[in-house]
């Protein structure tokens, strides 16, 4: 009977792991965005900062922008840094770039 309880406990813990991994990725994406992107794009993605105005940063929260760019295009922008935006290909891992992408997609909601 004890082994059945352990098995059920292990299954319950395993079922919770993917949800916590998604929450961690979301949290990390927001933290990375605030650290690297909010200077120009603003904490809400609206580009309502002095630097955003000065450098013509995109308003990432606009539904028209969200609908007009693909995930690949956003990822390339993160990697290559269009215009005056810094490139993050060498300073952020692929997972970190994907987490930022996922957070950017939440800004349109």
Q: Where are the domains of the chain?
A: 25-106
Residues of the chain with pLDDT under 70: 1-26
The confidence score (pLDDT) of residue 7 equals 45
How far, in Å, are 12, 22, 25, 109 from residue 105 at the CA level? 30, 14, 13, 8
CA distance 57 to 91: 21
Q: Does domain 25-106 have CATH number 3.30.460.80?
A: no
The confidence score (pLDDT) of residue 108 equals 87
If you search the block for the tokens 């028209």, which residue do you land on? 64
């Amino acid at each position: 009977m004890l082994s059945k309880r352990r098995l059920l406990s292990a299954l319950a813990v395993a079922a919770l792991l993917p949800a916590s991994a998604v929450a961690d990725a979301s949290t990390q994406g927001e933290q990375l965005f605030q650290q690297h992107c909010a200077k120009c794009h603003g904490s809400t993605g609206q580009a309502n900062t002095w630097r955003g105005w000065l450098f013509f940063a995109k308003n990432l929260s606009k539904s028209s922008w969200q609908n007009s760019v693909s995930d690949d295009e956003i990822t390339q922008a993160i990697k290559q840094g269009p215009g005056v935006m810094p490139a993050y290909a060498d300073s952020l891992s692929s997972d970190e770039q994907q987490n930022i992408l996922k957070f950017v997609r939440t800004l349109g909601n």
